[in-house]
Amino acid sequence: MEILSLIQSDPLVYKNDSLIRVRNLMNRSLLPELPVVSEDDLIGTITSKNLVNILPKVKIENLLASHIAEKDYIKSDVNSELSYLAKEFLSKKRFIACIFKEKFIGYVQRRRLLSFLLDSDEEIKNYVSKDFVTVDLEESIKKIIKLVKNEVPILILKDGQPFTAFSPEELYFIIFVSNYAVRKIERDFETLRGDERKILKMRINQAKLRKLKEEGKIVHLPPLTVADMAKNNFLISETQTVGDAAKIMLNFNKNIIAVKEGGVISDLSLLKALV
């Protein structure tokens, strides 16, 4: 019954969907992993991480979802225990678990398991991780993009103190679907700031941006920094509770938070409380 209450069946990716549609679905749902189906059969799942890794090698227009559906997804029976699902997420570090009742019926988001921890008054200090790298808020955004493949959390510092944090999964998602897509930043107008950056955020076509540059309305300015991406300060203290951390993650679609005393706490580390 616990798993049943978490199952969703929308959005779904269909095998002949273009990757442009996949990107739009991920952007709207804020999900970095989605199931790929053919009628009511599950083919696999598609992740923003995999998309980021293959897109430099091919054109997005040339691929369909079925071409890159991954087979190593989490598979769970509808009657499985909550602890089993938590263990699968901890082991495979996926974002969704595909649920079956003889056939595929939907999926459960990893983050939604945190809803069972909202009333926990246990202090988070036992779940804080010290495995991370640090980046200053004023650092070039190119640095954080290069660090993503290290597969470790990134703690963002402001004036030398913890400010916010990003998991590798969040960064893959940002790179693929957000306004800071790495191919746009590296290829075109990384030197925009102020009002001109709003143009980049709105994704107005490149031709218009080039015209503005040619007309001298866009001048050479410092590059985009981590501060342009890390707008919000997600910070928690070791003396706060597991319930506090779960609430922040659920309310703000975060899967990692910076810890005031140093370190990070992730949804995966919190899931250990369900095992």
| pLDDT, greater one: 159 or 214 | 159
Q: Are residues 135 and 101 in the same domain?
A: no
Tell me if 256 is assigned to some domain: yes
pLDDT at 50: 85
Q: Which amino acid is at 5?
A: S
* The token pair that represents 24 in the structure block: 């739009």
Average pLDDT over residues 172-188: 54
DSSP for 85-119 reads HHHHHHHH--SEEEEEESEEEEEEEGGGGGGGGTT
pLDDT bin (cut points 50, 70, 90) of residue 201 is very low
pTM of the model: 0.79
Residues 25 and 136 in one domain: no
Domain annotation covers residue 213: no
What helix, strand, coil percent values describe the chain, rounded to 5? 40, 25, 35
Continuous H helices in 93-241: 141-147, 168-177, 182-187, 195-201, 206-214, 226-229
Q: Contact at 8 Å (CB) between 15 and 36?
A: yes
What is the rounded average pLDDT for all residues in the chain?
83
* Domain containing residue 165: CATH number: 3.10.580.10
Q: Are 78 and 99 in contact (CB under 8 A)?
A: yes
Domain that residue 153 falls in? 124-180+224-274
Task: Name the packing angle between helices 168-177 and 19-29 (round to 10°).
Answer: 120
Co-location of 92 and 132 in the same domain: no
